[in-house]
Amino acid sequence: MAPRLDFLSWWMKDTQKGTPVVVKMENPNFSVVEINGADAAFRPVEKNRGKNAKQVTWVLLLKAHRAVGCVTWLVTVLWDLLGGIKKRVIQRQGVAVEKGKLLFRIISLFLVISLAVLAFEVVAYLQGWHFGNHNLHIPHTSDFERLFHMAYVAWLTFRAEYIAPPIQALSKFCIVLFVIQSVDRLLLCLGCFWIKLRKVKPRISGDPFKVDDVEGSVCSYPMVLVQIPMCNEREVYEQSISAICQIDWPRDRLLIQVLDDSDDESIQWLIKAEVSKWNQKGINIIYRHRLIRTGYKAGNLNSAMSCDYVKDYEFVAIFDADFQPNPDFLKQTVPHFKDNPELGLVQARWSYVNKDENLLTRLQNINLCFHFEVEQQVNGVFLNFFGFNGTAGVWRIKALEESGGWLERTTVEDMDIAVRAHLNGWKFIFLNDVKVLCEVPESYEAYRKQQHRWHSGPMQLFRLCLPAILKSKVSPWKKANLILLFFLLRKLILPFYSFTLFCIILPLTMFVPEAELPLWLICYVPVFMSILNILPAPKSFPFIVPYLLFENTMSVTKFNAMVSGLFQLGSSYEWIVTKKAGRSSESDLLAAAERETKSIEQQKIHRGASESELVELHQLKELKEAAVEPVKKANKIYKKELTLAFLLLTASVRSLLSAQGVHFYFLLFQGITFLLVGLDLIGEQMS
């Protein structure tokens, strides 16, 4: 029960400080009263007064009932969690085959040691020994107790002299990195605030397509090539091709390439049918499939750019299979190239059709909104450089060719071409107001694989690009920005200190109090940084605590990916297509309904086709209707996350012995977050 605030005693205490009051009446109808203090009837009654043995018994029974209820609730929660673990383990497909066994073994070793130390110190705590008293003398003890006490004192000495110093040194190094990265993020936010305040953004002067000669107005539109690379995109190919085919641009100045790398023959036929349908409507669209599928997306794009007809086009727009641009996309992006021969790339912002689908998509929306509105926009305005996002962008084909084209040496071909173009002197523009609809992963498995590729590729690219950066003729400031900020600070330091500081050092300091971390590092600065991250998505403020905890949880995957890319381990070369759900916006659904009402027009188009084409389209339609959705896999368990969950929970129990309140709550909630993620209980739940 909450403590009762006894305002009456406080009031009486204050009133008794005054001087005695004497009341005199002219007419002696009343007696004279002298007030020296509070009347006994109004004085507070002692708490223990009037309680008999029966009342004390009822109070004790009530407290016991509450304690039993709390213990029952904890046991129920623990039983449910164990049931969830058992349900994941007994399923044959439910165990995740993870890379990075060395990291898992290190975390497991820390867990075993922490459990042993916790048991050792709990016994010492029950004996009444203080953790910091090395010279504690216990009289009248047995030989076993005396031996245990000597071992405990030896452990305290060894901990203070040999374990604490390296942990303190590593923690100080990580704290310095943490402060530097926080300052960098703060400067980015200040730059974004300045852009908002001054309303700085790229603008188009006049009408770039308007000419005096009406007959020559069409010729003012440059030739644009649109590429849609895809691979086994059964869920999203139709809506993506449909949205891109409705782009408002002269048809004779536009060519759409559908670059299909699918290895599933049924999906190939479905995409061919969609391309053929739009080709019958007069859209200049072609289907292209490689026989030799090497180099993933980079190889696919490089193969498409080698076609002879590409030399007739000036710009190329790239959209991944789940992107749905607005009809005016090219009219909002291509005009920026006019009268700006040094401009090589125009990048648009992503917008998410499924950002409110579940907690995982909401947390991703926070991260990506900060990435585009703060990082990309600030770097575009102040540096004319940022990492290409691989899609929803328009390139000048000349810039691609002079920069070496698409290379298959990494899994981040978009960042690779952006760095090489920047070293060749090309400038970039980011359009924060131009948004393209797309999807974010809805399951943790898909998101985890995506993040692994996004954090292993940059480190692999850094090894390859470092000699070229040092030998390039760009200014020293641009070299320093690429090496120190773009690669080291934002791609290497961030996952390193996040994992090391909050997932390893912090729980270890609970067992080594001599290396305790400051409170501002655990509480104040991370909360302030999370508030800055969430500012571009103000509607997500209720999720600030889950966001902070989940980002620390993802640091395990990012750290493992960073190490894989830096040392060129096998997992850094993996490319797994992110699973899509095929979500559609309201405008897409309305457009689909409108297309179904145009059956008469479609019949007229089919009458103009040859008989063989009609037979092929009919077969493809039957194949599409007979296509069965792939069976979803069962949820997985992730061993590294689960092991870290138990390590953090063990550290939280140890923090209770030291009465460290903030540390306990942080470790407890962070451990629960790791537990939920390790059991794959966040995001879309598989059947």
Pairing of strands 285-289, 315-318: unpaired
Q: Which residue has the tokens 């310095």?
A: 176
Q: Is 260 a catalytic residue?
A: no
147 vs 606: CA distance, rounded Å = 93
Quote the CA–CA distance of 99 and 585 in Å, as a whole number. Answer: 36
Distance CA 442, CA 236 (A): 14
Please state the φ and ψ torsions of residue 597, each to the nearest 5 degrees: -80, -10
If DSSP codes are grouped into helix, strand and coil, which group holds residue 433?
strand
How do beta strands 343-352 and 427-438 pair? Answer: parallel
- Nearest CA among 316, 662, 350 for reference residue 521: 662
State how far the Cα of 340 lies from the Cα of 314, in Å rounded to an integer.
Answer: 14
Q: What CA–CA distance (Å, rounded) separates 195 from 201?
A: 8
- On the 0-12 / 13-18 / 19+ scale of CB atoms within 10 A, 253 is middle
Q: Beta-strand (E) ranges in 163-253?
A: 224-230
CA 358, distance to chain mean position in Å, is 14
What tokens does 528 get? 């302030």
Q: Which two tokens stand for residue 593?
A: 């309904």
- Is the Cβ–Cβ distance between 465 and 412 less than 8 Å? no
* CA-wise closest residue to 44 among 68, 18, 10: 10
Written as six digits, the tokens of 241 are 């091709």
Sign of the torsion formed by the C-alpha atoms of 322, 327, 333 and 334 = positive
Instruction: State the Cα–Cα distance between residues 659 and 465, nearest whole angstrom.
Output: 50
Beta bridge partners of 396: 315
Tokens matching residue 360:
């995982």
* 312: annotated active-site residue: no
Q: Which of 260, 320, 322, 414 is catalytic?
A: 414
Residue of 261, 322, 416, 680 with catalytic role: 261
| Among 467, 468, 461, CA closest to 487 | 461
| Residues recognised as catalytic | 261, 414
